[in-house]
């Protein structure tokens, strides 16, 4: 499947539609250079990284856990705007390595997913696990793509759902979500919708 086949991006903010269309076009051209194939079916992006970078920094590096509610509300809006039926879907966070959990004191993505689940009534499970890897934002484009290879796996004790919503915070090259989606598809997941808080591409 082409990376942008079935692509859908919905922004919560009030940016002009013309600007959004141009932004989406540029993102698509950039990502197509990096990923030949995608393993997910659709992707939803809440906003541009620059608009919430200060909030993400407070949340992830200064333990402002109350912001998890703000981020969860953003995606509740997205789910309402799509008018899609998510009755048979399960929410899954991209996994956090235990060393980062120890440093930050909580699972930043997992907490948001739990609150999205509470708002939308979509069930959630922790299905993926990961090996330690360097932070994506500190790497070059080539390093990001190589960094994601073979570091994700599915927990054996968990029953594999057929439809999942895979959640992450920031979309850079798309390598993280694509590798997670690849592992999920190989494990038996039939349909994957990706949701991310923000993208740092314009």
How far is it, in rounded angstroms, from Cα 100 to Cα 106?
9
What domains lie within the chain, and their CATH numbers?
A: 17-199 (3.40.50)
Per-residue model confidence as pLDDT tens for the chain (202 residues): 333 333 344 444 444 443 443 344 444 445 545 555 788 888 877 777 888 888 888 998 888 999 999 889 887 777 777 767 888 999 999 988 667 756 666 788 999 999 999 999 999 998 887 775 555 445 555 655 555 556 778 887 678 999 999 999 888 878 888 899 999 999 999 999 888 888 876 5
Supply the angle between the helices 49-61 and 67-82 in degrees, to the nearest 10: 140
Note the pTM of the prediction, 2 decimals.
Answer: 0.75
The confidence score (pLDDT) of residue 199 equals 80
Q: What is the pLDDT of residue 102?
A: 66
Give the pLDDT of residue 32. Answer: 47
């Amino acid at each position: 499947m082409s990376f942008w086949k079935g692509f859908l991006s919905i922004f919560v903010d009030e940016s002009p539609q013309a600007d959004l269309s141009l932004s989406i076009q540029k993102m698509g051209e950039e990502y197509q250079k990096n990923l030949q194939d995608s393993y997910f079916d659709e992707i939803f992006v809440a906003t541009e990284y620059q608009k919430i970078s200060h909030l993400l920094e407070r949340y992830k590096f200064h333990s402002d856990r109350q912001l998890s509610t703000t981020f969860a509300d953003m995606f509740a809006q997205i789910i309402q705007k799509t008018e899609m039926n998510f009755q048979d879907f399960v929410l899954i966070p991209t996994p956090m390595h235990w060393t980062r959990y120890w440093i930050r004191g909580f699972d930043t993505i997992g907490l948001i997913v739990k609150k999205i689940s509470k708002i939308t009534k979509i069930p959630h499970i922790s299905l993926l696990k990961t090996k330690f890897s360097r932070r994506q934002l500190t790497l070059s484009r080539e390093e990001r793509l190589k960094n994601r290879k073979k570091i994700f796996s599915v927990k054996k004790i968990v029953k594999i759902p057929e439809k999942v919503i895979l959640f992450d915070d920031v979309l850079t090259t798309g390598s993280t979500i694509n590798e997670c989606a690849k592992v999920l598809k190989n494990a038996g997941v039939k349909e994957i919708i990706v949701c991310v808080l923000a993208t740092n591409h314009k």
